[in-house]
Amino acid sequence: EGRPAVYCGGEHTFLRHPKSGVGYQLGGCGLGFDHDRPKASKYVAKVPVTAAEVIIPGYYHNLLRQADGQCFAYGCGRQAPNDGQLGKGTTDEDTTPVPIAAFETAGLGGHHTVATREGGGVWAAGAGWQGQMG
């Protein structure tokens, strides 16, 4: 049946089922978790997207692409302010995946995202206060 794919961010781990693509997250980044909960078992949740094909973790946020090409972002702003790194044009924190522009590949840092668009081009979002976005 295969083994789950494992992806690690700064404060979370994402597991993807090898056949269904269903994702589970462990850790306190996003998905409505409360960092002050005393039990580790409270930090496990099914990620509400279908068939996650591409998972790209950042330190405080994740990008997901489903098999049908839909792209999503979500992230936690508790440990550091959300600097707009979710790529949706705001600095709001999203604890559930929200649709974003399609991407082909991406790299995620602690406070920024840089992605290539399908068909060409690049987009960047988030903090640039240390020159990390060029």
pLDDT digits (tens, 9 = 90+) for 1-26: 688 889 988 878 888 888 888 888 88
103 burial via Cβ count (<10 Å: 0-12, 13-18, 19+): buried
* CA separation, residue 97 to residues 2, 36, 81, 100 (Å): 26, 22, 18, 9
Residue 118 pLDDT greater than 60, yes or no = yes
3-state SS assignment for residue 88: coil
pTM of the model: 0.80
Annotate 40-67 with b (16+ C-beta within 10 A) or e (fewer). eeebebebebebbebbbbbbbbbbbbbe
Closest by CA to 123, choosing from 105, 98, 97, 96, is: 105
pLDDT digits (tens, 9 = 90+) for 61-86: 889 998 888 999 888 654 455 677 87
Residue 82: CB atoms within 10 Å: 20
Which pLDDT value is given to residue 78?
Answer: 47
How far apart CA 115 and CA 65 sit, in angstroms, is 12
3-state helix, strand, coil in the chain (%, to 5): 5, 40, 55
pLDDT digits (tens, 9 = 90+) for 17-50: 888 888 888 876 655 555 555 555 566 778 877 7
Closest by CA to 80, choosing from 110, 57, 51, is: 110
